[in-house]
Amino acid sequence: MSSAVNAKATKSNEKIAEIKRSLSALEHLSSGTLLKRMKVCGNPRCHCASDPAARHGPYYEWSYLKGGKLRHRTLTPEQADIMWLAIANHRKAKKLLRAWEAQTRNLMELKTPK
């Protein structure tokens, strides 16, 4: 291999090492969607029936796929804080894995004899 090809391969390997470090720093990881909801209770005498600002909540609902089926779960505010981070980390991990795959492709193209 030429020195230019070696330099490109080294750069790709350095990027892969950085991706690995970034992935290992992620603590919580989860797919899904987290919604913050304010609800109306249904009691006509309650303030929430006439004033949208007086609705009950917030309630946190996490939706995710399990076994091909959409599941829903209500979370506490503390659990929701962790889930916000876990969902953001999941998206970041997917992005990092796509970058790792691209760098691996680059390495294979560099090492393929022409």
**Which structure tokens are listed for 16?**
């892969």
Q: Which of 95, 96, 90, 74 is nearest to 32 (CA)?
A: 90
Domain ranges of the chain: 3-111
User: What is the per-residue pLDDT across 18-67, written as a single tens digit (0 to 9) for each?
Assistant: 999 999 999 999 999 999 999 999 999 999 999 999 999 999 999 999 99
Residue with tokens 């981070």: 85
Asked if residue 101 has pLDDT above 70, the reply is: yes
Tell me the whole-structure pTM to 2 decimals: 0.81
Greatest CA separation for the chain: 80
**Which structure tokens are listed for 68?**
């091909």
- State the pLDDT confidence band at 114, using cuts at 50, 70 and 90: low
Chain centroid, CA 114 distance in Å: 39
pLDDT value at residue 15: 95
- State the pLDDT confidence band at 110, using cuts at 50, 70 and 90: confident
Do 55 and 48 touch, CB atoms closer than 8 A? Answer: yes
Radius of gyration of the chain (CA): 23
